[in-house]
Amino acid sequence: MRAEKYGIDCSKGVMNRGNLYRIERAMKKAMRGENITVGFLGGSITQGCLSSTPETCYAYLVYRWWCEKFPQAVVTYVNAGIGGTTSQFGAARVESDLLSKNIDFTTVEFSVNDDDNEHFLETYEGLIRKIYSSQTKPAILIVNSVYYSDGRNAQAQHIKIGKTYELPCVSMKPTLYEKILDGTYTSRDVTEDDLHPNDEGHGLMAEVIISFLEMVYEELTSGNEAEDNHMDVQKMTPVTPNAYENSVRYQNDNSEAVMTANDGFVIDEQPQNDIREIFRRGWTADREGAHIGFDIEGSCIGVQYRKSIVQPTCVARAVVDGDMDHAKILDGNFEDTWGDSLHLDTIAEHLPYGKHHVEIDLIETHEDDKVPFYLVSVIGSGI
- CA 28 – CA 221 distance, rounded (Å): 9
Statement: 247-381 belongs to CATH 2.60.120.260? yes
Q: For residue 172, count other CB atoms closer than 10 A to its CB.
A: 30
- CA 318 – CA 249 distance, rounded (Å): 16
Q: What is residue 372's predicted lDDT score, i.e. its pLDDT?
A: 98
Q: For residue 36, count other CB atoms closer than 10 A to its CB.
A: 19
- CA 317 – CA 210 distance, rounded (Å): 46
- CA 104 – CA 136 distance, rounded (Å): 7
For residues 376 and 305, the answer to whether their CB atoms sit within 8 Å is yes
Fold of 2-235: Rossmann fold (3.40.50)
Concatenate the DSSP letters of all residues of 57-120 into one string: SHHHHHHHHHHHH-TTS-EEEEEEE-TT--HHHHHHHHHHHTGGG--SEEEEE-TTTS-SSHHH
The backbone torsions φ and ψ at residue 146, rounded to the nearest 5 degrees and listed phi first, read: -155, 150
Inter-CA distances, 170 with 82, 87, 230, 253, Å: 21, 17, 23, 38
Q: What is residue 244's predicted lDDT score, i.e. its pLDDT?
A: 98
Which residue intervals of the chain bear CATH 2.60.120.260? 247-381
Q: What is residue 226's predicted lDDT score, i.e. its pLDDT?
A: 93
Stated as kind and residue range, the H or E segment containing 42 is strand 36-42
For residues 265 and 284, the answer to whether their CB atoms sit within 8 Å is yes
Which residue intervals of the chain bear CATH 3.40.50.1110? 2-235
CA angle 316/289/356 to nearest 5° reads 60
Q: What is residue 5's predicted lDDT score, i.e. its pLDDT?
A: 77
For residues 177 and 146, the answer to whether their CB atoms sit within 8 Å is yes
Q: What is residue 383's predicted lDDT score, i.e. its pLDDT?
A: 75
Q: Any residues with CB less than 8 A from the CB of 39 and at least 6 apart, and which?
A: 78, 79, 80, 98, 101, 103, 105, 106, 107, 138
* pLDDT tens, per residue, the chain with 383 residues: 778 878 899 999 999 999 999 999 999 999 999 999 999 999 999 999 999 999 999 999 999 999 999 999 999 999 999 999 999 999 999 999 999 999 999 999 999 999 999 999 999 999 999 999 999 999 999 999 999 999 999 999 999 999 999 999 999 999 999 999 999 999 999 999 999 999 999 999 999 999 999 999 999 999 999 999 889 999 999 999 999 999 999 999 999 999 999 999 999 999 999 999 999 999 999 999 999 999 999 999 999 999 999 999 999 999 999 999 889 999 999 999 889 999 999 999 999 999 999 999 999 999 999 999 999 999 999 97
For residues 38 and 107, the answer to whether their CB atoms sit within 8 Å is no
Q: Answer positive or negative: Cα dihedral of 204, 91, 84, 241.
A: negative
